[in-house]
C-alpha cells in the first residue's frame, strides 16, 4: 500500500489552487462565505447556482460533486449543517464523509479547504480523525487474492487551514492521525489473514520483523519448552490439541527513561478457535480466525507508538495459540496449574481466551507495570450485551477506566464500563480446583472478566472485551479496533 502524502498549509488564493479535486465544507446557513465564496467565483458561480436549485442545501450528510471550470478539476461539496451547530459530533461526521467521498473518486490529489472552520478546538479534533480515516480508507486486503483489488487513487492530500491553528500544529495532528491509521491497518491485516497462514509462529515472526524495523523495540519469543519451565500450564492446555505450537511473544518499546514503569498491553492471540473438545457449531466458525484480534491490536498499537516515537515505555505481550480438538487436547473436567500456582478446572475448553491470558497476566508482574491492559475477543456474551459499537471495559482501578473511556470518546473508538463486582466471583467456585474457567449462564462477559481479575491483583489493570468491536460480519472484515483508543490513551500518558 503506497503512502498518502498528507500536509497542512495556508493557502491565500483558493480559487487559483491547481488540484484535481477541491473539497469544500458547505454550511447550511443559506449564504456562501469565505473560501466557498472564492471558489464559487473562480468556477463561474456554479456552487451558488447549485444551491439556488435547492437540491443541495449544505445539510449534514449531503454531498455533491461538480466539475470545476477554474484551477480545480472537481469541486467536492460536503454538507456540514449550520455553522452554529458545528460540534465535535458534526465535525466527526464531516471527516467520515470526506474520507468516504474521496475514496470514491479518481482524483490523484486533492485540497481540503478547512479555512472556514473557525473553531480551533473542533479543528484539533477533526484533523487527526480525518487523517486517520483517509488512511484506513486506503486499506485493501489482497494477501490471498490472485488479482489484487485496485489501489487507492489519491496520492496527495493538502489541507488548507485558516489562522486558528499554526501550520506546525496542524501538520503534527495530521501526522498523528495518519500514524494511528497505519496502526489500525496493521491490526486489520493480521486479523484478516486466515488461520492457515496466521499461526502463532507467524505472529512471532511478525513481531521479529517489527523489532528489526524499529530501533527502540526489542522482541523476545518464548517457545513451549520455555513456557513449561515458567509453569504456564494454563496457556499450554489450550495449545495441547494443536499441531501448531504456542508462542509467547514479548515486544518491549523503550521510548521513556530507563527506570520509568512501563504500560503493558496483553493480547489474546488465538489464531483459530474451534472450541477444542467443547467444539463450536459449524455456522460462522470461519470467523474464529479473528480470535487473535486482541493480539492484532497490540501489534497495531506497538507499531503506531514506534512511529509516533512516544517518550514512554510500553511492553506488548501476545499469548498465541491455536485451540483444536485432538487425542492430546484438554478435556472438560481436566485440572491444570497456572503460572500463578493456582489450579484451574477447565469445564469448557471453548473458554480458552482466559486460559492463555491468565498466564500472560502473571508474567506481566515482573515489569512492575504502571498499568496492564488486556485486549481480547473474549465472549459472545459481550456481543449480546453491547452489540458491535462499544468494547466492554472492566478495570480494578477507576482512574484507569476513566482514562480509557476518555481516550475512546476522543478517538471515537469507544468502550462502555461493565461491573466487576465480587458478587459475580462465586460463579467461578468449584470443588475440584481453585477456580473454574466458566461461570453460570448469566453475565458471561462479566464472569470471564472476573476470572482474569483474580490474576491481575498486583497492579492497576483493565480488560477490553472486543468480541463485538474487532470485526464486522457484513462485509466480513477486521475493524482494527481498539488501536485508535489505545494509541490515544498512550499519547495522553506521554503528554502528546
Long-range contacts of range 27-31, CB-CB < 8 Å, 24 or more positions apart?
Answer: 27/58, 27/80, 27/81, 27/82, 27/83, 27/86, 27/116, 28/57, 28/58, 28/59, 28/60, 28/79, 28/80, 28/81, 28/82, 29/58, 29/82, 29/83, 30/57
- The Cβ of residue 283 has, within 10 Å, a number of other Cβ atoms equal to 7
Instruction: Choose among 215, 234, 138: nearest CA to 181.
Output: 138
In the complex with Mn ion, the residue whose CB is nearer, 27 or 290, is: 290
The residue range among 64-72, 183-191, 353-361, 464-472 that interacts with Zn ion, by the rule CB under 5 A, is: 353-361
Integer Cα distance of 171 and 164 in angstroms: 14
Per CB under 6 A, the list member of 160, 377, 410, 491 interacting with ligand BES is 377
270-289 residues near Zn ion, rule: CB under 5 A:
270, 273
Q: Is 280 an active-site residue?
A: yes
Integer Cα distance of 311 and 335 in angstroms: 43
Cell numbers at 90, concatenated: 458534526
467 binds, among Zn ion, Mn ion, ligand BES, none (CB under 5 to 8 A by kind): ligand BES
348 interacts with ligand BES by CB under 6 A: yes
In the complex with Mn ion, the residue whose CB is nearer, 116 or 322, is: 322
Q: How many residues are listed for the chain in this entry?
A: 496
291 interacts with ligand BES by CB under 6 A: yes
In the complex with Zn ion, the residue whose CB is nearer, 224 or 291, is: 291
291 labeled binding residue: yes
438 interacts with ligand BES by CB under 6 A: yes
b/e code 206-234 from CB counts within 10 Å (16+ = b): bbeebbeebebbebebbebeebeebbbbb
Per CB under 6 A, the list member of 79, 300, 353, 392 interacting with ligand BES is 353
350 labeled binding residue: yes
Give me the residue whose beta carbon is nearest to Zn ion: 273
379 binds, among Zn ion, Mn ion, ligand BES, none (CB under 5 to 8 A by kind): ligand BES
As separate numbers, helices (DSSP H) first and strands (DSSP E) second, the chain gives 15, 19
In the complex with Zn ion, the residue whose CB is nearer, 91 or 195, is: 195
273 interacts with ligand BES by CB under 6 A: yes
Write down the catalytic residue from 354, 454, 481, 488: 354
User: Cα angle at 334 between 329 and 336, to 5 degrees?
Assistant: 95
In the complex with Mn ion, the residue whose CB is nearer, 104 or 440, is: 440
Task: Enumerate binding residues for ligand BES (CB under 6 A).
Answer: 273, 291, 348, 350-353, 377-381, 383, 438, 444, 467
Q: Which residues are annotated as a binding site?
A: 268, 273, 291, 350, 352
Give me the active site residues, please: 280, 354
Q: Which residues are annotated as a binding site for Mn(2+)?
A: 268, 273, 291, 350, 352
Amino acid at each position: 500500500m503506497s503512502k498518502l502524502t498528507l500536509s497542512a498549509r495556508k493557502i491565500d488564493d483558493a480559487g487559483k489552487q491547481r488540484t484535481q479535486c477541491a473539497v469544500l465544507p458547505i454550511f447550511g446557513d443559506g449564504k456562501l462565505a469565505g473560501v466557498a465564496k472564492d471558489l464559487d467565483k473562480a468556477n463561474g458561480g456554479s456552487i451558488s447556482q447549485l444551491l439556488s436549485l435547492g437540491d443541495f442545501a449544505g445539510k449534514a450528510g449531503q454531498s455533491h460533486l461538480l466539475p470545476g471550470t477554474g484551477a480545480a478539476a472537481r469541486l467536492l461539496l460536503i454538507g456540514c449543517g449550520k455553522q452554529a451547530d458545528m460540534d465535535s459530533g458534526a465535525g466527526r461526521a464531516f471527516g467520515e464523509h470526506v474520507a468516504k467521498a474521496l475514496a470514491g473518486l479518481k482524483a490523484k490529489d486533492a485540497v481540503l479547504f478547512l479555512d472556514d472552520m473557525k473553531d480551533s478546538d473542533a479543528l484539533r479534533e477533526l484533523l487527526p480523525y480525518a487523517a486517520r480515516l483517509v488512511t484506513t480508507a486506503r486499506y485493501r486486503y489482497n494477501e490471498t487474492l490472485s488479482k489484487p483489488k485496485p489501489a487507492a487513487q489519491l496520492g496527495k492530500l493538502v489541507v488548507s487551514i485558516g489562522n486558528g491553528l499554526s501550520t506546525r500544529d496542524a501538520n503534527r495532528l495530521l501526522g498523528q492521525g495518519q500514524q494511528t491509521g497505519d496502526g489500525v491497518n496493521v491490526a486489520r491485516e493480521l486479523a484478516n489473514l486466515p488461520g492457515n497462514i496466521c499461526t502463532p509462529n507467524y505472529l512471532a515472526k511478525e513481531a521479529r520483523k517489527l523489532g528489526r524495523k524499529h530501533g527502540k523495540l526489542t522482541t523476545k519469543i518464548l517457545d513451549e519448552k520455555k513456557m513449561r519451565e515458567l509453569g504456564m500450564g494454563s496457556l499450554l492446555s489450550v495449545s495441547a490439541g494443536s499441531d501448531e505450537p504456542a508462542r509467547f511473544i514479548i515486544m518491549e518499546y523503550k521510548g521513556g527513561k530507563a527506570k520509568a514503569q512501563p504500560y503493558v498491553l496483553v493480547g489474546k492471540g488465538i489464531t483459530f478457535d474451534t472450541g477444542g473438545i467443547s467444539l463450536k457449531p459449524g455456522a460462522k466458525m470461519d470467523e474464529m480466525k479473528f480470535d487473535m484480534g486482541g493480539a492484532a491490536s497490540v501489534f497495531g498499537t506497538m507499531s503506531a507508538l514506534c512511529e509516533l516515537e512516544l517518550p514512554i515505555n510500553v511492553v506488548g505481550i501476545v499469548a498465541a495459540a491455536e485451540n483444536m480438538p485432538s487425542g492430546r487436547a484438554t478435556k472438560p473436567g481436566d485440572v491444570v496449574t497456572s503460572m500463578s500456582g493456582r489450579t484451574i478446572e477447565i469445564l469448557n475448553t471453548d473458554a480458552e481466551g482466559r486460559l492463555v491470558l491468565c498466564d500472560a497476566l502473571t508474567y506481566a508482574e515482573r515489569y512492575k507495570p504502571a498499568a496492564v491492559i488486556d485486549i481480547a475477543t473474549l465472549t459472545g456474551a459481550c456481543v449480546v450485551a453491547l452489540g458491535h459499537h462499544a468494547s466492554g471495559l472492566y478495570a480494578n482501578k477507576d482512574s484507569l477506566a476513566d482514562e480509557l473511556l476518555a481516550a475512546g470518546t476522543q478517538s471515537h473508538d469507544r468502550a462502555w464500563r461493565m461491573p466487576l463486582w465480587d458478587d459475580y466471583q462465586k460463579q467461578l467456585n468449584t470443588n475440584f480446583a481453585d477456580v473454574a474457567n466458566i461461570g453460570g449462564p448469566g453475565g458471561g462477559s462479566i464472569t470471564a472478566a472476573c476470572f482474569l481479575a483474580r490474576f491481575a491483583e498486583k497492579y492497576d489493570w483493565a480488560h477490553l472485551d472486543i468480541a463485538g468491536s474487532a470485526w464486522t460480519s457484513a462485509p466480513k472484515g477486521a475493524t482494527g479496533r481498539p488501536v485508535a483508543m489505545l494509541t490515544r490513551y498512550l499519547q495522553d500518558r506521554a503528554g502528546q
